[in-house]
Structure 1
Amino acid sequence: MRSDPLPLLWLCGPSGVGKSSVGWELFARLSRSGIKTAFLDADQISLCYPLPESGTHRIRAQSLAAIWPNFREEGVRCVVLSGFVDTREEVREYTDLLPEAALTVCRLRVDPAELRERFIARGWRPDLVAEAVAEAELLDLSDFADICLDTDGRTVSEVARMVRERAGGWPPGGPAKTPTGPAETPTGPAPMPGGSASCPVAPPTSGPVPVLWLSGADAVGKSTVGYEVFTQIIRTGVRAAYVDLKQIGALRPAAADDPDGHRLKARNLAALWAGYGAAGARCLIVSGHADRDDTVRGYAELLPGAALTVCRLHAGPATLAERVARRGGGGGPAIPGDEMKGLDSGALRRVAERAAGEAAALDRVKAGDLRVETDGRSVREVAGEVRALLGDWPN
């Protein structure tokens, strides 16, 4: 493993300014140029609620530090992080735990009128627009960032280009041949060994740790239902954790022996759960693909003591086509790297056909411990049935 500092570019700014969109664009550009790059949205590594007394930034910093060695083992050349921060003291919470990071903080800003337009255009929580504008005004009084970039009237692509220019052609060194992670295996999925110094596993508990994994075909609603289950549980006062596997394994170019990223995702999941468990989380909800029994076993081996239940969501071809089209048009929650967004009708039709084929294949092999039909049902209704099938879960 390398010991030289690993470049970390942190994009911050008010809600709605475009941190995640610009971060993903940078990630995509760098990886296409041959630079092995990782992307993280800070919101996705702190979903443990009710929050521990240490607060949001402490648990995010601990999570980032826990998964950092896993990215290094995969040969990552740089990391792009998007997330809110507004003081030097908050930034220091992260840098204190990341001595091997060469951090550049870039604050994105936009005038209030355009920020309102962007925020409302997202279609998510328009009631928070006033709060976002107030955040922006306070940030404009700050001086903690290394770079401040005005994004008014600029596209995501233009802002991404300008970020790299202002950061001196970040990352330092440009394209280079990098390690591709552990040695390739001739056939089959990548090995996912047990815990190591770079992959902490969840601490022992007084009993099995309840873990619910929402799986299924593309566009079936794994993440949406998983987050709804998580929300319903924390509303009861139970401290729970949620992880979307796609959001903790964004690394490109992918390792030749691990094209789906399961090795990295499994290690990062174990590292995150170690921190969430130590913070008092009583259960874990996971969303992501689980189309093979050996894939699931690979994750389970890194979560010793877990009582794992895989719940497969199902939808028919017409429903999947409708959901794919909605995502293509920008509907649903804003997810960094949603590859359906913006596709033309022909491409969306092909995505829907593949999803329908995948759903049929999963039905044939009866994948998962539970199967829940989602056709014609709301997210809340599906989440309610999942919880009903689980009984008194997570108790």
Structure 2
Amino acid sequence: MKVTIVAGARPNFIKVSPIIKAIQSAQRKQKLISFRLVHTGQHYDKKMSSDFFDQLGIPHPNINLGCGGGSQAEQGAAIMVGFEKELIDNRPDVVLVVGDVTSTMACTITAKKLCIDVAHVEAGIRSGDMTMPEEINRIVTDSICDHFFTTTETANKHLQKSGIDDSKIHLVGNTMIDTLHQNLSKIKKPDLWDKHQLNKKQYFLATIHRPSNVDNPEKLNSILSAIKASSLNFPIVFPVHPRTRQIIDRFKINMENILMIEPQSYLEFIFLIQYSKGVITDSGGITEEATILDVPCLTLRNSTERPETVSLGTNELIGDNLSKMKYCIERIIAGNWKRGRVPPFWDGKSSERIIDTLTLIYANLSAKTEPNHNVSS
């Protein structure tokens, strides 16, 4: 079985890392499986360098399509053109896409137009917010792909409701949590830790990057002001996303008492999550990591495609109700936050389940298509 694995943004590489390791493990067991790793180039991040690949144990991509920049439409079109050539030159049995970025949708469409099967890892998650580009990507991808690997029963229900046959839906868990399990013993104290005299459980970690929160400078300023006013003099460590920094710099937003730092590599960032007093974010993936690490988490969104981080985990939605932030942070500081529970199948073995399932599916397909030489005439 030949698998083409697609990744286009930093979270994608975190999700495909354990899948690649599961394939390599299958190869050591003499299973007939190979892969090509395609980087669409959707996100350019200087932290997405050799250090990043080395940290996660990811082989360097077989090809980088170099499709960064431009509008979503321009980027999607460039990815489709580049990926079509890649598939024609190196046709796989199945394309494996992860998550919900532009690359996920664009590569799914391209593969299906070439009559190549697509497997979607993290299928079926829904926020219900059609203003999110990611929600469009999820819906389009799931409407045409062939195999659905899900993180929760809730995702299964979304797919079933849309008419997907149960035989195509596979509850495997969360590959991002596989990566967390595989690297937790390797996390690294960032250089900034000693420089800024940070202490464990004595700071809050903030990440803000979604257009709905940062593109309006007044709203971004209100969010940052609310964080500062609510933190009771706890330091705020803020790895700044490039789009967020552009707004801050352009509109000269007051960042006094907030420690702005560069985006961190994976091992350093997980260190910052684990030893924070709490996390304030608008990222979906970080809410999952905070749940596993039992770190209190506040999400600056009105809905989430990961409801299990709220119902089972350590996450609470703040949305646009910034007055709620002070109350929540006071609870965190007082030690009165809820304890999280680990969702089912988030046990670090999701990638093994994915590869075991794919190899079984394609072994059966191969057996059905092989000519039967024992049929008597």
Answer whether TM exceeds 0.5 for this pair.
Answer: no
TM-score in terms of structure 2 length: 0.31
Question: Of Structure 1 and Structure 2, which has the larger fraction of its residues in helix?
Answer: 2
Relative contact order, CA 8 A, sep 6+: which one is greater?
1
Q: If the length of structure 1 is used for normalisation, what is the TM-score?
A: 0.30
